[in-house]
Amino acid sequence: MKDVTKQRIREAIAEAVRDGVTAGANLLIVQDGKEILYEEQGYADLEERTPIRRDTIFRLYSMSKPITAAAAMLLLERGQLDLSQFVSDFLPGYAQLTVEKDGEIVPAQMQMTVHHLLNMTSGLTYGDDVTKSGRQVSALLEEAVQKLHTDEAITTVELADRLGRLPLAFEPDSSWQYGLSADVLGAVIEKASGVRFGEFLKTNLFEPLGMCDTDFWVPQEKRGRLAKSYESVGKGEMRLYTGDNLAVSNDMERPPAYEAGGAGLVSTIDDYAHFMQMLLDRGSYEGKQILAPRTVDYMVSGDLTPAQQEAYRRWVGLEGFSYSHLMRVMRNPAMAAGLAGMGEYGWDGWLGCYMANFPQERISLLLMQQKKDSGTIPLTRKIRNILLSGLE
């Protein structure tokens, strides 16, 4: 990587911190397994002026999803999970699905499969305040938040099973919508494996990959490394955010009853880079074969039907991408809103964590921050464009 490219990336991050776009961030770019740029700027705690460090712990939110997808692939390889299996084989709440059509709740004509969960084509959503289906999902999530810090906290399997008893937004397989599919998949993994979802991840992914700071909570001895979350209040000003979004505890103080496969994990930049490198190396990590090469190829090369793709295209900023196995997958770089790589894949999180693997370039890009409603923000797109335009 050229020195001018590195400097432009540093300047982009510095500008974002200076202008209150983010409180702080760290960035890691790896090519051919070798670090070519690491940068840290800003603060993990604005009030205490604690700087972002390499071992800072971040709430991943939706960047938990690719890890959940990889766990499902492990079970697929072992013959413990068939992607065409009905979700009702694991969770009885899905035995008699209903769906909202033209404002009415009617029996569903299609069963939901595990594959639908992996591709967000299940009909499950994050809820809304407009539709009957959306309002019921929102009410369940609100109940889960209210019970989060009590002895009646809703569990991974309980929440997933109760979702199946609520009306879907559309018939499974007929469309695409971002939602709680990955969280239900976490419950399916728990039932299929016979062990708690978090324990399955720890034993089969985190420990083999050396991801010692990745979990659904942060123990006391590590709490000083957990970044604070912030939200914009206008004119470059930020304030502390302490809300429990999507039934995920913001304080991360104790092991949760609900291990959210779509949003619940915390990690560090190096931990998550190990996971990304494993995918980029087709399942291999430091001499260990975590997933089979053919499995990883399948995981990062999926697609949607034309009807599903049409629904997915409504998401501004993901032009040129399709979606599969809980990740975006680049199918048409000419349609992208910026520079892109054919076959690149990844995802991002609600608090601003972002990952992208570029197989052709053998590059991993990982950005970590904690800013409410961030996802893929202009800063991320600027870094991508600087990086890809500056490759030698």
pLDDT digits (tens, 9 = 90+) for 40-53: 999 999 999 999 99
| Residue 94's pLDDT band (cuts 50, 70, 90) | very high
Q: What is the pLDDT of residues 122-166, one digit of tens each?
A: 999 999 999 999 999 999 999 999 999 999 999 999 999 999 999
| pLDDT score, position 375 | 85
Q: What is the pLDDT of residues 371-388, one digit of tens each?
A: 999 988 999 999 999 999
Q: How many CA atoms lie within 13 A of 379 on its CB side?
A: 29
Please give the structure tokens belonging to residue 97: 């699905």
- Report, as an integer, the average pLDDT of 279-298: 98
- Report, as an integer, the average pLDDT of 155-181: 98
| Residue 28's pLDDT band (cuts 50, 70, 90) | very high
Which CATH architecture group holds 3-57+200-218+267-389?
Answer: 3-Layer(aba) Sandwich (3.40)
| pLDDT score, position 314 | 87
Predicted confidence (pLDDT) at residue 392 exceeds the cutoff of 80: no
The number of beta carbons lying within 10 Å of the beta carbon of residue 109 is 10
User: Looking at the whole model, is its pTM more than 0.95?
Assistant: yes
| Residue 167's pLDDT band (cuts 50, 70, 90) | very high
| pLDDT score, position 15 | 97
Highest mean pLDDT among 1-5, 96-100, 233-237: 96-100
DSSP state of 22: -
Rounded to the nearest 10 degrees, the angle between the axes of helix 269-280 and helix 65-77 is 40
Outline where DSSP puts E strands in 222-267: 229-234, 237-241, 266-267
Please give the structure tokens belonging to residue 17: 């911190």
- Are 56 and 225 a contacting pair, CB within 8 Å? yes
Predicted confidence (pLDDT) at residue 7 exceeds the cutoff of 80: yes
- Are 167 and 102 a contacting pair, CB within 8 Å? no
Predicted confidence (pLDDT) at residue 296 exceeds the cutoff of 90: yes
| Residue 212's pLDDT band (cuts 50, 70, 90) | very high
| pLDDT score, position 302 | 86
From residue 178, give the alpha-carbon distance in Å to each of 19, 258, 298.
31, 20, 21
| pLDDT score, position 197 | 98
Q: What is the per-residue DSSP string for 36-92? A: EEEEEEEEEETTTTEEP-TT-BEE-GGGGHHHHHHHHHHHHHTTS--TTSBGGGT-G
| pLDDT score, position 163 | 98
| pLDDT score, position 376 | 82
Nearest to 40 by CA among 345, 343, 369: 369
| pLDDT score, position 90 | 98
Rounded CA-CA distance 87/188 in Å is 7
Query: What percent of the chain lies above the pLDDT cut of 70?
Result: 100
Mean pLDDT of the chain: 97
